[in-house]
Amino acid sequence: MYELSGTVKKIFDEQTFGSGFNKREFVVTTPDDKYPQDIKFECIKDQVELVNKLSEGDKVKVTFDINGREWNEKYFVNLKAFRIESSGSAASKSAPDAEPPPDDPSDAILDEAPPC
C-alpha cells in the first residue's frame, strides 16, 4: 500500500468493456519535486465511484497498490487507487475501512487491448 498527495490534473472518461469490466483513470500532479510529476491512477469496478466525486484542481491524497503484469513479452504497471481523501480532511471518500479490491488480472488481460 502506497500514498501520494497532489492536485488532480486530469480526469478521463469511464471505460466499460464487453465483459462488463469498467475502469476510470485520473492524473495527480505532485508538488514535491523540482520538476512536478504527473502520475496516472486507475480505479476499477466499484472503485470507479471514487473518481466520480473528484474535480480537476482538487487537492487529494491517494492510497494505491502497484500491480504489474506481462503480456506478449511486454510489461505493464498499473497504479490502482482504492482510497481518495481530500487534502487536509480526515474524511475519506472511500468506504470506511476500505480494503483494496481483489486483483483479477484476467479482467485486464482479456478486456484491455495492449497499447500500440
How far is residue 85's CA from residue 2's CA, in Å, rounded to a whole number? 13
pLDDT of residue 10: 96
Q: State the average pLDDT over residues 99-116.
A: 51
- Does 26 reside within a domain? yes
- Does 85 reside within a domain? yes
- Does 42 reside within a domain? yes
Let me know the angle formed at the C-alpha of 40 by 35 and 41, rounded to the nearest 5 degrees.
Answer: 135
- Does 109 reside within a domain? no
pLDDT of residue 20: 84
How far is residue 5's CA from residue 7's CA, in Å, rounded to a whole number? 7
Residue with cell 511486454: 74
Q: Is 0.95 surpassed by the pTM of this model?
A: no
How far is residue 42's CA from residue 71's CA, in Å, rounded to a whole number? 19
The pLDDT tens digits for 45-101 are 989 999 998 999 999 999 999 999 999 999 999 999 999 998 744 334 444 444 555
- Does 104 reside within a domain? no
Give residue 10's domain range: 2-92
- Does 100 reside within a domain? no
